[in-house]
Amino acid sequence: MQSEKINLKGLSLNELNDLVIELKEKQFKARQLFKWIYQKGLSDFEQMTDLSKELRGKLKQVAFIDEIRKIKSIKSEDQSTEKFLFELEDKERIESVLIRERDRITICVSTQAGCPLACTFCATGEMRFKRNLSAGEIVDQLIQIKKYLKEKEKITHIVIMGMGEPLLNYENTLKAIKIMHSELGLGFAARKITLSTSGIVPRIFQLAEEGLKIKLAISLNASNDKIRNILMPINKKYPIKELLKAAKFYAQKTDQRMTFEYVLIADINDSKKDALELAKLVQGIPCKINLIAYNKVSELLFEKPDEKKVVEFRDILYPRCPAVTIRKSKGEEIQAACGQLRAKM
């Protein structure tokens, strides 16, 4: 039955405008509806008290508001990180992660079930591609997880770094970002939203032109094409030189510093030579380098370098590069850390 009705979750304000006009209602009702769906996270029209009874009745006839279903969640030992497993309408499963730190609460959202890019070190890549998420399914991860926050808690940052490659699901991801950003929607400033990509070059150029100014993180992970081709096969299509051109363009166009993520994998990309090569590579690009020690994925052969090696790598990079950070991995023991998401708990 429901499939004949329209799912309102994921619709933009313009699309809701069209719907209320079709229902012969005043346009401002769309704004009220938009707020109920995204700000309040409601999916029952009856609870939308400032809509007339008549409109609620009409909406029930033609529309519904879908929700992704939480199957399970697990917390890290120190309680700071929580991983949520959700089931979608067609039974596909995705994961989202909530990370509590001293002055911020970050949610990491997925954009695809699985990932088509099959980076050789990543658990999501290993599970292969199932399908793109709809804009509603992307936004709903936030709406649902908000329900599990404690009273005074508030999500402060969104990172689009969960399962999947967001720029291969461009339209839906962009639509979801606009809802996250909208004052009437979830109200996040653009600088609080970061999208991480493996480097889909034409889409980086396109994103730069959207006028959105969200933060961009590029998963570089190697300082030359030879190693990057092995770690991230997409590099054969969009090699480092092309990727850096796009990165530069994004930084210029949005007037911000980009982040390069670099996962350090023992004996693969963590040598002194790699660090020097990396420093040279990013010269002239306003950027920050975020080092992440590899999180172990069972079945995959890669290993994490020891901590000393990570610090040594950082010390070679800095001060050759203007800003270098070591990302403290969160939730590794519950397989909620970067690259460990595979929709199994």
Task: Let me know if 8 is exposed, middle or buried by CB neighbors in 10 A (0-12, 13-18, 19+).
Answer: buried
**What is the enclosing helix (H) or strand (E) of 91?**
none
Task: Please report, as residue ranges, which positions from 172 to 201 form the binding site for ligand SF4 (by CB under 6 A).
Answer: 198
Q: 4 φ, ψ to 5°?
A: -80, -20
Task: Please report, as residue ranges, which positions from 58 to 117 form the binding site for ligand SF4 (by CB under 6 A).
Answer: 115, 117
Scanning 62-70, 169-177, 242-250, 288-296 for contacts with ligand SAH by CB under 6 A, the matching segment is 288-296
> In this structure, are residues 84 and 70 in contact, taking their beta carbons and an 8 Å threshold?
yes
> In this structure, are residues 200 and 243 in contact, taking their beta carbons and an 8 Å threshold?
no
In the complex, the smallest distance separating the C-beta of residue 43 from ligand SF4, rounded to whole angstroms, is: 29
Pick from 41, 125, 136, 305: which binds ligand SF4 (CB under 6 A)?
125
Pick from 143, 214, 263, 285: which binds ligand SAH (CB under 6 A)?
263
Q: 215 φ, ψ to 5°?
A: -80, 145
CA atoms of 23 and 339, how far apart (whole Å): 45
261 binds ligand SAH (CB under 6 A): yes
Pick from 73, 132, 221, 259: which binds ligand SAH (CB under 6 A)?
221
Pick from 33, 65, 119, 145: which binds ligand SF4 (CB under 6 A)?
119
CA atoms of 41 and 34, how far apart (whole Å): 10
Pick from 250, 339, 342, 343: which binds ligand SAH (CB under 6 A)?
339
Per the annotation, the verdict on 82 as an active-site residue is: no
Per the annotation, the verdict on 338 as an active-site residue is: yes
Scanning 6-14, 122-130, 253-261, 292-300 for contacts with ligand SF4 by CB under 6 A, the matching segment is 122-130
Among residues 246, 150, 255, the alpha carbon closest in space to that of 199 is found at 246
In the complex, the smallest distance separating the C-beta of residue 245 from ligand SAH, rounded to whole angstroms, is: 18
Helix (H, G, I), strand (E, B) or coil at 164: coil
Residue 319: count other Cβ atoms within 10 Å of its Cβ: 9
Among residues 339, 108, 98, the alpha carbon closest in space to that of 219 is found at 339
In the complex, the smallest distance separating the C-beta of residue 199 from ligand SAH, rounded to whole angstroms, is: 8
- Would you tell me which residues interact with ligand SF4 (CB under 6 A)? 115, 117-119, 122, 124-125, 164-165, 198, 219, 339
